[in-house]
Structure 1
Amino acid sequence: MWLLTLTVILSGLLWTAHADSCAGRCGSGVDSSKNCQCNSHCERFGDCCSDYDSLCNGAPSPPGSTPTDLHGIASLIWEKDVNRASSSHITVNYQGHTSTSSGGVDKATHPYFTHVNEAVLFSRPTYSHFISLLDNYDHSVDATEYLSEHQWHETDRFLDVALDTDVMRETEKFLRSKGLVSGGSSAFRSKLHSLWFELYKRSSNGKISSSGFEHVFVGETKSNSVTGFHNWIQFYLEEKRGRLDYKGYVSRSQPDLIGSQFSWHQGLLKSKGTFFVGTSPEFEMAIYTICFLMKPNDSCHIRLNGHSVSIKTYDNSNWSGKQIATAYPM
């Protein structure tokens, strides 16, 4: 009798262990018969299995398949980012730690970037065409924005080369699988153009003076401060030209994220500007686009190279339709 009882107890323990595991269940739908869940919603509802993070967050999808959740697609496009800079391409100097309340006290006597291998990185098509866009905008949000025919052509060329990368191809596949992109082959391109490059007002009574691309990748000035400006390439180039003064780091985290304090355009202060260091233009546009469409006006929790990262995005509520007001890593 005691052998039968022991067998029943052990069987129950094995069933419970299986029910509490994500083994073979990553990305699956809600199963009310299980004690815990294994999809991206479980973090919000607090019912993830204990091994969800180790098994599912960033776990690779089967070859040739489309990832089912944010962790999967973030990890996939990180792996596909062949244009990301290696450690030999970039050297930085963090120097002193500062805070957002320091008032711009300089804790760094030297530039943040010590070395960037421009010959290798900036000759790559997505980099070179991205850089051609950085001087197309007036930094002031009080100035009416106007792009010439040539500047719009530069925008088109950047989209051409960005869309011709595995990062963007996987991004399109994922967004189509979620019903966030539909239509013909040009639909994804049109969506990127609308989200990032359509000019808009930043206030209900303001001028048409901004775009998602300008705010996030180029940076803007408003009154006596810097807004946006979340890209390492623009930071490096402006620092090299002597127009940007790095004041020190507010925060540091992996994979290669910095919250920096700096002044730009005649001393206007950015108390904390966060950005990835070394990621390609196409990767940043892709991950921000995914997070904006999947988690608009919210925090988008992902894993990159084994590290937890949150992306914050906001829609521009002062303009009809969806346009990216801002996007940045936290």
Structure 2
Amino acid sequence: MKNSEEWKRYKRPPSEQEYSEDVSQLRHGLNVEPSREELNHLPKACCPLWELDLNRLLPGNDYTIECGQGKKVYQKGDMASENLFSWLKDDVLRRPTYCRFCALVDNYNPRQGYKELVTQQDKNEEAAFIEEIARSAPIKYLHRYLVLKGITSQDQKDFKKMLASLWFNLYGRGDALVALLPLSMSL
């Protein structure tokens, strides 16, 4: 399948999408139930997120990066002479979660002070991304963790709506700072 055909597949409305299989805890031997210790100590809860990610990329196997010489906070511009990723395995951008993430990249205007235009296709891509990642073990673990902590609903649809809201709802970028300026001057 050509890349352009592959990308078009991810541009369809969510109801017409093909998603990965739900991660089967039994098939992969994955436990997405947080332990008492993980519930009581946030840093311990972060380890399973990493361990449950069967889709994570491995340096040297899936990609190679060129870190360059680094730079100081005050330096402008890119100090690296090469691209950050000097090599990426051919199949990486065909993996469903990565492909769906890449479909989101062109949805945003990076210029501050300009209004975002959110199209129906953008909304479809957002919904498809949420649906895809919700099938992954790390997000299933996260959902259980938040349910047990009383932070979110046990209902999967409500959880997906919360993720979509947190990640994709727009916020003001231009006028908010101007509105706060008089307040900060009086302090």
User: One fold, TM greater than 0.5?
Assistant: yes
Cα deviation for residue 120 of structure 1 reads: 2.1
In 2 relative to 1, CA 149–107 (structure 1 residues): closer, same or farther, beyond 3 Å? Answer: closer
Residues paired across the two proteins, number: 144
Aligned counterpart in structure 1 of residue 123 of structure 2, from 152, 163, 169 = 152
Q: CA deviation at 1:145?
A: 0.7
Q: SS of the residue aligned with 1:190? A: helix
| Aligned equivalents of 1:65, 1:199: Cα separation in 2 | 32
* Among 139, 153, 159, the residue aligned to 1:188: 159
Kindly report which structure 2 residues correspond to 1:145-294, keeping only aligned pairs within 5 A, or say none: 145-182=116-153, 184-202=155-173, 204-205=175-176
Query: In 2 relative to 1, CA 151–110 (structure 1 residues): closer, same or farther, beyond 3 Å?
Result: same
Change (3 A) 1:95 1:141: closer
Partner Cα separation in structure 2 for residue 70 and residue 109 of structure 1: 38
Q: Which residue is equivalent to 1:70?
A: 42
- Distance in structure 2 (CA, Å) of the matches to 1:63 and 1:151: 30
Distance 2:109 2:167 in 1: 16
Deviations 1:100-124 (A, max 9, x none): 12344x643222221011x221111
Structure 2 CA distance for partners of 1:181 and 1:99, relative to 1, 3 Å? same
Q: Secondary structure at the match of 1:186?
A: helix
Q: Secondary structure at the match of 2:107?
A: coil
1:93 partnered with 2:66: yes
Tell me the SS of whatever aligns to 1:201.
Answer: coil
SS in 1 for 2:118: coil
Query: Structure 1 residues 168 and 183, CA, compared in 2 at 3 Å: closer, same or farther?
Result: closer
Displacement, 1:193? Answer: 1.1
Task: Give the Å deviation of 1:127.
Answer: 0.5
Shift in Å at residue 98 of structure 1?
Answer: 2.2
Q: For residues 309-324 of structure 1, what are the structure 2 equivalents within 5 Å?
A: none
Aligned residue type for 1:115: W
Superposition RMSD in Å: 2.3
Secondary structure of the residue that 1:147 maps to in structure 2? coil
Runs (4+) off by over 4 Å: 62-65, 203-206
SS at match of 1:199: coil
Higher RCO (CA < 8 A, seq sep 6+): 2
SS in 1 for 2:64: strand
Greater C-alpha radius of gyration: 1
Residue 274 of structure 1 is matched in structure 2 by none
2:109 is the counterpart of 1:141: no
Q: How does 1:53-68 map to 2 (within 5 A)?
A: 64-66=33-35, 67-68=38-39
Structure with bigger helix share is: 2
Cα deviations by residue, 1:263-319 (Å, 9 ceiling, x for unpaired): xxxxxxxxxxxxxxxxxxxxxxxxxxxxxxxxxxxxxxxxxxxxxxxxxxxxxx9xx
Say which SS state the counterpart of residue 133 (structure 1) adopts: helix
Q: Which amino acid aligns with 1:80?
A: L
Question: For structure 2, which runs of at least 5 residues remain unmatched after alignment?
Answer: 1-30, 181-187
Q: Name the CA shift for 1:176/1:64 in 2 (closer, same or farther; >3 Å).
A: closer
Q: Distance in 1 between matches of 2:172 and 2:32?
A: 43
Out of 49, 55, 70, which is 1:83 matched to? 55
Deviates more, 1:71-80 or 1:94-103: 94-103
Q: Determine the structure 1 residue equivalent to 2:87.
A: 115
After superposition, the Cα gap between the structure-2 partners of 1:103 and 1:203, relative to the gap in structure 1 and judged at 3 Å, is: closer
1:129 aligns with 2:109: no
**1:30-87 Cα deviation digits (max 9, x unpaired):** xxxxxxxxxxxxxxxxxxxxxxxxxxxxxxxx99544312122200010011111112
Mark the CA change 1:172 to 1:103 in structure 2 (over 3 Å): closer, same or farther.
Answer: same
Partner amino acid, structure 2, of 1:188: F
Q: What letter corresponds to residue 76 of structure 1 in structure 2?
A: P
In structure 2, the CA distance between the partners of 1:203 and 1:91, relative to structure 1 (3 Å rule), is same
Q: Secondary structure at the match of 2:122?
A: helix
Could you report, residue by residue, the CA deviation over 1:214-235 in whole angstroms, capped at 9, with x for unpaired residues?
xxxxxxxxxxxxxxxxxxxxxx
